[in-house]
């Protein structure tokens, strides 16, 4: 799937009339994955290999000079770790509550990145 499709699926899950905690968790994780795929493609990293792991991607983003980066990369650089933690919490901590607000925050971050990319094109 393309990053835009992954983000679309995340929105569909969160907006479903019968959405509950499992859908909100999946939406947050998918929103982070969509950003991950978009940024990896921009930086020329293969998200399926070691060079595309979240940690490697976070390190590559940290090394980007924000004064020469497109807006969507600056936004991703600023919030990548926060989104990554939210996605990990959604999938890896089933005993902790994860509500619609958590999912909306993850989606809003991803929307900011994707919106900035769309505005540049």
Q: What domain range is 47 assigned to? A: 3-120
Nearest 5 degrees, angle CA 44-CA 40-CA 47?
A: 100
**pLDDT averaged over consecutive 10-residue blocks of the chain (121 residues)?**
95 94 95 93 86 84 90 90 88 90 94 91 70
> Can you give the pLDDT at residue 20?
93
CB 100 within 8 A of CB 20: no
Q: What's the number of domains the chain is made of?
A: 1
Q: How far is residue 76's CA from residue 48's CA, in Å, rounded to a whole number?
A: 19
Its pTM stands at: 0.90
């Amino acid at each position: 799937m393309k990053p835009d499709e992954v983000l679309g699926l995340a929105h569909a899950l969160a907006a479903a009339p019968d959405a509950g905690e499992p859908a909100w968790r999946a939406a947050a994780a998918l929103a982070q994955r969509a950003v991950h795929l978009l940024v990896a493609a921009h930086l020329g990293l293969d998200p399926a290999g070691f060079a595309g792991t979240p940690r490697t991607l976070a390190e590559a983003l940290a090394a980007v000079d924000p004064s020469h980066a497109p807006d969507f990369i600056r936004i991703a650089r600023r919030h990548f770790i926060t989104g990554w933690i939210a996605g990990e919490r959604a999938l890896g901590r089933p005993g902790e509550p994860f509500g619609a607000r958590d999912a909306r925050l993850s989606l809003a971050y991803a929307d900011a990145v994707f919106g900035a990319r769309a505005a540049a094109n």
